[in-house]
Copies of this chain bind each other. A is one copy, B any other.
């Protein structure tokens, strides 16, 4: 902890890397490993050891020179920083194939402290079905359930066209943070947290590199020239 204040908020890139460390650490724990150094983590994940040390510092963990960190202690520190030591309930809107895939991913609860309680959809043919043991309710019930269960995390898995109104419904029902899988930039009150999962962004990285590869390699200037 480099601040005398309580950690402002950690750099975003750091936060995004923490789950990666956590994954490795859990693996090491299963393998019976008790201590681990940044050097070792760095080798495994092909990252810079100093960066890892800085990243881990945001969790408040203290390591031992010459030794490293105690694996279970480090796991606990990261989990606590992310809030993954406790389970947070969430409601999901949109029981299409993506929504049901998210519902069916049981590991969210154990690994990421995320418990998706139920899904909502306005397609009556889906109502009453379950997906991954989770019930699918009609959209009208959302506000009621959200308030009654004091749930403030919402997941949007509806088509782009319906995303904004879905967000509005959530906000009106007391939702304070939204995990949005629809490819839209949502208009939200300042105090509602939003995190977008944008597959296009990710694909763009891959396809632009792939495209760059295919392109006629930037010829050394000066026209035809045979090296020998």
A81 at the interface (CB under 8 A from B): yes
Q: Which bracket fits the contact residues of A?
A: 35 or more
Q: Give A113 to B209 CA distance when docked, in angstroms.
A: 14
Query: Are B97 and A201 interface neighbours, CB within 8 A?
Result: no
A183-B16 CB under 8 A given contacts A83-B207, A114-B203, A193-B206: no
Query: Are A16 and B195 interface neighbours, CB within 8 A?
Result: no
Q: Give A23 to B152 CA distance when docked, in angstroms.
A: 29
Q: Give A4 to B100 CA distance when docked, in angstroms.
A: 49
Query: Are B207 and A202 interface neighbours, CB within 8 A?
Result: no
A210-B153 CB under 8 A given contacts A195-B202, A203-B114: yes
Q: Which of A82, A97, A185, A207 has the most CB of B within 10 A?
A: A207
Query: Are B205 and A195 interface neighbours, CB within 8 A?
Result: yes
Smallest CB gap from A195: residue in B: B206
